[in-house]
Amino acid sequence: MLVSPSTHHHHHHMQVFHAEHALASPLSNMEEDDTESDAVSVASGPSMSFAPSVVTSATSHDWEMRSASPAPSVYSMTSSLRAASYRHEYGRGINNYSEVYRLPADDEEFARLDRQHVMFMEMMGKYPAPLPEILADDTPGTTKACVDLGCGSGSWILDVARDFPHCSAVAVDLVPMQDANMPPNCRSEVDDINLGLQHFYGAFDVAHARLVSSGIRDYKGLIDEMVQTLRPRGLIQLIEFDFRVYDNQHEAIMPSRLEEETPWFARWMNVVNIAVEQRGGEPDAANHLHRWIQENPHLEEVVYREFWFQTGPWNRGQGHRIARDNWIGSMMRDDILAFLKSGRPLLLSNGVDVCVVDELEFNAERELREASAQTYIRVQNVYARRRAY
């Protein structure tokens, strides 16, 4: 859901991927893509003063190979390069770069994330309150800049690029961002943010990450890195959920609960939680965000918000508030129904028996469609400013 392909899940120069990435898998079903024109350019050309898209790549032992940003080289998104970014697992396209983030990075997943973006905007507002002022074009000779780490489908950073056309917008993920209408001030970089953000230090006025925790090995360390990328008084914004399902008392439904009393969706989520952890991600990062941000000595003006999303439109009665909660609940239910399918490769590749996955998925889907269990997803948001000194 809930994971942003940052998480979840995407996107050096011209030494494109290393052989070990590019040849990691037989590129089975990718050949069909060659019928499209062979070069779908990700950068819209070097218009204005904005740097073009690049593929940066690094393993821990080759820092000097990783391109400095903004990069001097443009690459066009050929289908062979796109093919090298993916492998197919259990019928889904998955990034070929990170062993941690195992949610899909295919069109089906990006459609889910685009719909999820609409739901989040409705519930949380489009941007954190300080963002428009921070990105305003109010400093002669200075180009404001914003980065989205784990941008997924890119819905958030594309909004920023369009709403703040004078601002430089950078989208980072494990696979390239493919948007036919890439604004000229937006560029896509392919990178694994687990490797650090040294090449971005001091470069941004806003650093944003949403639903990436399932792909992050050390989330507190990521926060420290994000803070380093900020200019003085820059904004860090984080949104995560904890891979748990909550009951109508807002208590987390843990695996220790008697199974007869546990909704199927909560059982499914608890299995996903374990799989994310075993892959090296941090499923419960959401529950520590506030403390981690508060304890960071470089940050001030910390704002914490939490949002309880119904998993279905089960409110009875009339009135605007009830109708709105039901509308958001139905969007969240659609998101979860797609997420049940997105989670299959993660569970199956982690050794959960296919019969178990099928049973959990089938029953969770029925439960959600019938809205027979009043459950919630808890989304936590923290934003703060980097101190001026």
Rounded CA gap, 106 and 88, in Å?
Answer: 10
Angle between helices 320-342 and 107-124 (to 10 degrees): 150
Query: Token digits for 306?
Result: 């939490």
Q: Which residues contact 108 (CB under 8 A, 6 or more apart)?
A: 92, 338, 341, 342
**8-state DSSP, 18:** -
- For position 179, what pLDDT does the model report? 75
For residue 336, CA distances in Å to 3, 115, 366, 376, 386 come to: 11, 11, 12, 11, 35
Query: Token digits for 164?
Result: 């703040």
- For position 78, what pLDDT does the model report? 59
| Among 162, 209, 157, CA closest to 7 | 209
- For position 218, what pLDDT does the model report? 97
Rounded CA gap, 348 and 327, in Å?
Answer: 32
Successive 10-residue mean pLDDT values, the chain, 389 residues: 42 34 36 40 45 50 42 49 80 90 92 96 97 96 97 96 97 87 92 95 98 97 98 98 97 91 96 97 98 98 98 95 96 97 96 97 98 97 96
Contact 30, 76 (CB under 8 A): no
pLDDT tens for residues 247-284?
999 999 999 998 788 999 999 999 999 999 999 999 99
pLDDT tens for residues 20-44?
333 333 333 434 444 443 334 344 4
Contact 171, 159 (CB under 8 A): no
- For position 83, what pLDDT does the model report? 72
- Coil/strand/helix, residue 376: strand
Residue 320: is it exposed, middle or buried by C-beta count within 10 angstroms (0-12/13-18/19+)? exposed
For residue 120, CA distances in Å to 101, 198, 204, 225, 252 come to: 22, 30, 24, 25, 21
